[in-house]
Amino acid sequence: MKLKTGQKCAFGFGAFGKDIVYMLIASYLLYYYNVVLGMSSVFIGTVMMAARIFDAFNDPVMGIIVAKTRTRWGRFKPWIFAGTVLNAVTIYALYATPESMGDSAQRVWLTVFYFAWGITYTLMDIPFWSMIPAITEPGSDREQLTSLARTCSGIGDAIPTVLTMTVVPILGAGSSMADYRIGFKWWALIIAVVFVISELVCVACVPERPVAGNEKPGKISDMFKALFKNDQAMTVVVSIILVYTSINICGNLVLYFFRFDVGNEGAYSIFAAVAFAAQVLVMMVIPLLRKRFSKSCLFISGFIIQIAGFAVILIMAFAKLYTPQSWYILCLPGILIYLGYGMLNVIMTIFLSDSVDYGEVMNGTREESVIFSMQTFTVKLASGVAVFLAGLIVDWIHLDTSATVQTQDTLDALRMWMTIPSVILLIVGIFVFKRFYKLDDARMEEIKSKLN
């Protein structure tokens, strides 16, 4: 089906809203519970890792439920609406821990509401991204919608990343940890409201492809078989895990880096703004780049650019090329890292949509929701693994969050853990893609002709 410009914009607005809430959790939950509330970083990481193990079962099941859904409002929209409202409640609760609670009660609160956040995010995220292959055909129309959606999601990522450490002290009317606690609560509420509004616009304006009268939901066992027989979808899933884990490890440690190594925590917001501007820009121009370069070429380029960014920031750190006043030199590697990440993010979504068409041709079944449930799972898995590792790293390197000055050994370890694991994961990602991914532009044209 052919979408109108307004409908595409509504879908993009939905992508913007859902990534605001995701990034507030992915980038600041560890900081909030560890630094603001004083909770053990190891415990926080363990809770998040346990939630990801639960997701290994929950997310594919949700994908199957969506695939089997038949309502007058469509397969996807009811779940997007319900998941959004429930998720908005949980994200507010996560940042509104009652002040009367002791440490043990806070740990229970985090565990309960973080699991609830993961479940409700799944409710809306799987059907949201499943709409792309369901309402577009392979080729330029799909790539344009994906680029627009990922550009908008990049802007959504940037809002909490850039503004949180500026807005929280303002909303809390101070810079003490008690003030931060109040500021985070009101900031989470604002983001939750924007999230609900954006998804309501998406649900109201974006049409679904009508389900044919003779189209019946398949058996659950057949859906799982189709998923695991789709080798191209599995290759993309592995790439998603590697790319998201690499960026999230750095993302969870970089605020500690600016606070304790650079010595200018306030500069982080500007650094993040510049980096995310680069990400959004490259996402916007992907359709133009596609006129000259293949998807595979852009994908490999994204890996290489990111690796270069991590290498540059590590060199700058050990050469101590920055001071609290001249921190802005770090914007160069930040731009490189997020340029590469933006390219990878758009192309991976296109690849996953293409794997849906590939699965239909190869296996005779079309399972958008089941395949995109793996994206939701792997994105959350990468976030959970990264926070788990970051929590362990903070403990391993003996980083004292209550101290203003850290030992040189601690700072050196922070620099290496923030960059080297990410480089290793990206190198593995290049190998996996070159070895196993086969859906080049010519193959997708062949698949499109078969489907038509």
**For residues 233 and 58, which has the higher predicted lDDT (pLDDT)?**
233
- Stretch 272-300: mean pLDDT: 91
For residues 154 and 344, the answer to whether their CB atoms sit within 8 Å is no
Going by pLDDT thresholds of 50, 70 and 90, the confidence category of residue 216 is low
- Stretch 208-216: mean pLDDT: 57
Q: Is residue 356 part of a domain?
A: yes
CA angle (266, 267, 271) in 5-degree steps: 135
How far is it, in rounded angstroms, from Cα 298 to Cα 304? 10
**Rg over CA atoms, the chain:** 21
Residue 224: its pLDDT value, please?
A: 60
- 103-107, 225-229, 310-314, 322-326: the lowest-pLDDT one: 225-229
Going by pLDDT thresholds of 50, 70 and 90, the confidence category of residue 214 is very low
- 68-72, 149-153, 444-448: the lowest-pLDDT one: 68-72
Q: Is residue 26 part of a domain?
A: yes
Element (H, E) at 145: helix 140-172
How far is it, in rounded angstroms, from Cα 283 to Cα 150? 7
- Stretch 224-232: mean pLDDT: 75
Provide the domain limits for residue 64: 5-208+218-451
Q: Is residue 224 part of a domain?
A: yes
Q: Is residue 80 part of a domain?
A: yes
Residue (of 251, 247, 269, 278) closest to 328 by Cα position: 269
CATH of the domain at 147: 1.20.1250.20
- Stretch 152-168: mean pLDDT: 90
Q: Tell me, what amino acid is at 67?
A: A
Among 32-36, 69-73, 139-143, the range with the most confident prediction by mean pLDDT is: 32-36
How many domains would you assign to the chain? 1
Q: Is 164 exposed, middle or buried (0-12, 13-18, 19+ CB in 10 A)?
A: buried
Q: Is residue 31 part of a domain?
A: yes
- In this prediction, what percent of the chain has a pLDDT beyond 70? 96
Which tokens belong to 295? 């998807």
Residue 227: its pLDDT value, please?
A: 66
Residue 324: its pLDDT value, please?
A: 92
CA angle (343, 346, 349) in 5-degree steps: 140
Residue 2: its pLDDT value, please?
A: 78
Other CB atoms closer than 10 Å to residue 142's CB: what's the count?
Answer: 21
For residues 22 and 246, the answer to whether their CB atoms sit within 8 Å is no
Going by pLDDT thresholds of 50, 70 and 90, the confidence category of residue 211 is low
For residues 343 and 282, the answer to whether their CB atoms sit within 8 Å is yes
Q: Is residue 213 part of a domain?
A: no
- Stretch 296-320: mean pLDDT: 96
Residue 295: its pLDDT value, please?
A: 92
Residue 156: its pLDDT value, please?
A: 92
Question: CB under 8 Å, gap of 24 or more: what pairs does 162-165 form?
Answer: 162/269, 162/270, 162/272, 162/273, 162/276, 163/269, 164/24, 164/27, 164/28, 164/269, 165/255, 165/265, 165/266, 165/268, 165/269
Residue 220: its pLDDT value, please?
A: 54
First and final CA of the chain: distance in angstroms?
A: 12
How far is it, in rounded angstroms, from Cα 358 to Cα 449? 12
pLDDT in tens, 110-127: 999 999 999 999 889 888
How far is it, in rounded angstroms, from Cα 274 to Cα 253? 18
Q: Is residue 183 part of a domain?
A: yes
Residue 223: its pLDDT value, please?
A: 56
Q: Is residue 388 part of a domain?
A: yes
